[in-house]
C-alpha cells in the first residue's frame, strides 16, 4: 500500500462505512472498503442519538476491514444542517470567513454561536448598486450534531481530521464526469432516511438540498400495509423482482412501494423545480443516482418519467484503481452505489 492514504468514514442511518484511498503518481487507488450494519435506532434521520453502540460498530468496522491507520474525514447530513444560496458583498476569503457570523446570523434557524459555518463561493456577480458581489452556498451545521459524529469516532479510538458536508462528498466522488455534452447535472444519493441532492456544473455546486426521506420510508409503508415486521418488509421490498407475482401479497407490496416511491420522486422533482426557478440559466440536463435506496426497483424509471431527464446509476469507483481490497467483482458491484459518500470524504483529504 502506498504511504499516503486517506480514510472517509460515513455514519449513515442504517450502516457505518468507510473507504481508504491511496494517492500515487499512477492515480488514486481504493485500498479498503468496509461496512457494518448499525443496531436499529442508534442513528435517527442521520443524527447519532446513541453513541456507544455506534462507536462499537465503528470499532468492529476497523477490526474487520484492516484500515492502515485511524485518522478519518467524516460527513454530516441531517435536519440540523442547513445549506442555502446566498449573495454577499465581495471580500477576500479570510475576511469573508471572519465576518460570516455577522453576515448570516439573521437567516439561521439556530443561534450563531451554536453553529459551524462555511461559505462556498460559486461566482462573482454585480449587485444592484454596481458593486462586486459573491454568490455562493452557505453551510450552517449545528455544532452539537457535528460533535456527536466526531465523538463517536473518538470513542472508537479514531481521530477525526475534518468534517465535511455529505453532499459535497457525493459531489467529489460522482461529479467529475460532466463534459462538453453535459454542463449541469443533479446527483442524488438516496440513503435509508436521508437523501442528498446536489446540482453542479463541472464540479462546482450550485444547489444542495438535504431531504429527510429514503429507502426506509418504503420499507415502513410495506410493513404498515401488510402488518408485518420491518425486517420482513425490507426483504419483500428488495425481492420485488423475483417475487411470486400472482399473489395478493405481491400486489400489496407493489402498491405500497409504488405509492411511497412516487411520493419520493415528487419530493425530488419539487427540489429540482425550485432549483430551476432560481437558476434558469443552468438547467439540469441529467440525474445521477447513488446510495442504497437508489436500488429500489423502478425508482430510476419513475424519476426519469417525472423529470423528463435521463437518469443513470453513478459509479464512484470508475475513476479509481482498485487495489487489494479483498473484494471480488461481484462484491465491488454491490459496493458501488454505497461508496459515493466514504470515497468522496476521502477524496476531500487530498
Ligand atoms: N436491493 C435493494 N432494493 C431496494 N432498496 C434497497 C436495496 N438495497 C438497499 N436498499 C435500501 O437502501 C437503504 C440504505 O441505504 P444506505 O446504506 O445508503 O443508507 P444509510 O447511509 O445507512 O442511511 P442515510 O444515508 O439515510 O443516513 C435502506 O433503506 C435499504 O432498504
Ligand atoms: Mg448514507
Enter the DSSP assignment of 252.
H
User: Is 205's C-beta closer than 6 angstroms to any atom of ligand 1?
Assistant: no
pLDDT of residue 1: 55
* Residues 58-102: tens digit of each pLDDT: 999 999 999 999 999 999 999 999 999 999 999 998 999 899 999
What's the CA-to-centroid distance between 234 and ligand 2, angstroms? 17
Ligand nearest to the CA of residue 213, numbered in listed order: 1
In whole angstroms, give the CA distance from residue 324 to residue 32. 8
Ligand showing the shortest atom-to-Cα distance for residue 294: 1
User: Is residue 16 lining ligand 1, measured as CB closer than 6 Å?
Assistant: no
- Quote the pLDDT of residue 243: 73
Is the Cβ atom of 342 under 6 angstroms away from ligand 1? no
What is the three-class DSSP state of 260? helix
Burial 149-171 (b: 16+ CB within 10 A, else e): bbebbeebebebeebbbbbbbbb
Query: Is residue 46 lining ligand 1, measured as CB closer than 6 Å?
Result: yes
* Å from CA of 128 to ligand 1 middle: 46
Ligand nearest to the CA of residue 48, numbered in listed order: 1
Tell me how far the alpha carbon of residue 124 lies from the centroid of ligand 2, in angstroms. 33
Distance 191 CA to ligand 2 centre (A): 4
Does 300 sit in the ligand 1 pocket, CB within 6 Å? no
Q: Which cell numbers in the block locate residue 210?
A: 438535504
- Shortest-distance atom of ligand 1 to CA 38: 22
Pick the CATH number of 81-141 from 3.40.50.10800, 3.90.226.30, 3.30.1490.300, 3.20.20.70: 3.30.1490.300
Bridge pairing between strands 27-37 and 321-322: parallel
| Dist CA 306 CA 142 (whole Å) | 34
**C-alpha cell of residue 275:** 432549483
pLDDT at 179 over 90: no
Which pLDDT score is estimated for 3?
A: 64
* Mean pLDDT value across the chain: 94
Name the CATH code of domain 179-314 (choices 3.40.50.300, 3.90.550.10, 3.40.50.261, 3.30.420.40): 3.30.420.40
CA-proximal residue: ligand 1, atom 21 (nearest) = 12
> Quick check: 311 and 12 in contact, CB under 8 A?
no
**Residue among 190, 194, 214 to mutate when testing ligand 1 (max atoms within 8 A of CB):** 214
Ligand nearest to the CA of 289: 1
291 lines ligand 1 (CB under 6 A): yes
Q: Please give the distance, rounded to the nearest whole angstrom, from the Cα atom of residue 13 to the centre of ligand 2.
A: 7
* Residues flanking ion ligand 2, Cβ below 5 Å: 12, 191
Query: Does 13 contact ligand 1 (Cβ within 6 A)?
Result: yes
Angle, nearest 10°, between helix axes 215-226 and 230-238?
Answer: 110
More confidently predicted of 161 and 129: 161
Chain region(s) in the chain for CATH 3.30.1490.300 = 81-141
Q: What is the pTM of this model?
A: 0.96
Ligand 1 mutation target, pool 36, 44, 192, most atoms within 8 A of CB = 192
Query: H or E element: which one contains 189?
Result: strand 184-190
What phi and psi, each to the nearest 5 degrees, are found at residue 42?
A: -80, -30
- Tell me whether strands 81-89 and 71-76 are parallel, antiparallel or unpaired: unpaired
Q: What is the mean pLDDT of residues 298-316?
A: 97
Q: Is 287 in the pocket of ligand 1 (CB under 6 A)?
A: no
pLDDT digits (tens, 9 = 90+) for 210-261: 999 999 999 999 999 999 999 999 999 999 878 778 888 889 999 999 999 9
Amino acid at each position: 500500500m502506498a504511504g499516503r492514504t486517506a480514510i472517509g468514514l460515513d455514519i449513515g442511518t442504517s450502516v457505518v462505512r468507510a473507504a481508504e484511498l491511496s494517492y500515487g503518481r499512477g492515480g488514486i487507488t481504493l485500498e479498503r472498503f468496509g461496512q457494518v450494519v448499525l443496531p436499529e435506532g442508534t442513528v435517527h434521520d442521520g443524527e447519532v442519538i446513541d453513541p456507544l453502540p455506534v462507536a462499537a460498530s465503528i470499532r468492529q468496522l476497523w477490526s474487520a476491514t484492516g484500515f492502515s491507520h485511524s485518522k478519518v474525514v467524516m460527513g454530516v447530513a441531517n435536519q440540523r444542517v442547513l445549506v442555502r444560496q446566498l449573495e454577499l458583498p465581495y471580500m477576500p476569503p479570510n475576511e469573508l470567513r471572519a465576518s460570516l457570523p455577522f453576515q448570516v446570523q439573521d437567516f439561521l434557524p439556530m443561534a450563531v454561536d451554536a453553529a459551524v459555518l462555511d461559505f462556498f463561493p460559486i461566482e462573482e456577480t454585480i449587485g444592484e448598486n454596481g458593486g462586486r458581489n459573491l454568490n455562493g452556498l452557505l453551510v450552517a451545521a449545528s455544532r452539537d450534531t457535528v460533535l456527536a459524529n466526531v465523538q463517536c469516532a473518538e470513542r472508537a479510538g479514531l481521530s477525526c481530521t475534518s468534517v465535511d458536508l455529505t453532499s459535497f462528498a457525493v459531489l467529489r466522488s460522482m461529479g467529475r464526469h460532466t463534459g462538453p455534452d453535459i454542463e449541469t447535472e443533479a446527483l442524488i444519493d438516496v440513503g435509508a432516511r436521508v437523501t442528498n441532492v446536489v446540482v453542479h456544473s463541472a464540479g462546482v455546486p450550485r444547489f444542495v438540498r438535504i431531504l429527510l426521506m429514503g429507502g426506509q420510508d418504503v420499507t415502513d409503508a410495506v410493513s404498515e400495509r401488510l402488518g408485518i415486521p420491518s425486517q420482513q418488509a425490507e426483504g419483500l421490498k428488495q425481492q420485488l423482482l423475483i417475487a411470486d407475482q400472482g399473489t395478493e401479497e405481491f400486489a400489496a407490496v407493489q402498491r405500497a412501494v409504488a405509492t411511497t416511491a412516487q411520493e419520493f420522486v415528487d419530493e425530488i422533482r419539487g427540489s429540482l423545480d425550485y432549483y430551476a426557478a432560481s437558476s434558469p440559466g443552468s438547467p439540469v440536463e441529467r440525474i445521477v443516482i447513488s446510495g442504497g435506496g437508489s436500488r429500489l426497483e423502478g425508482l430510476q424509471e419513475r424519476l426519469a418519467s417525472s423529470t423528463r431527464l435521463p437518469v443513470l446509476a453513478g459509479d464512484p469507483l470508475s475513476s479509481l484503481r482498485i487495489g487489494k481490497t479483498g473484494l471480488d467483482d461481484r462484491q465491488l458491484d454491490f459496493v458501488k452505489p454505497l461508496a459515493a459518500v466514504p470515497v468522496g470524504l476521502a477524496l476531500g483529504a487530498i
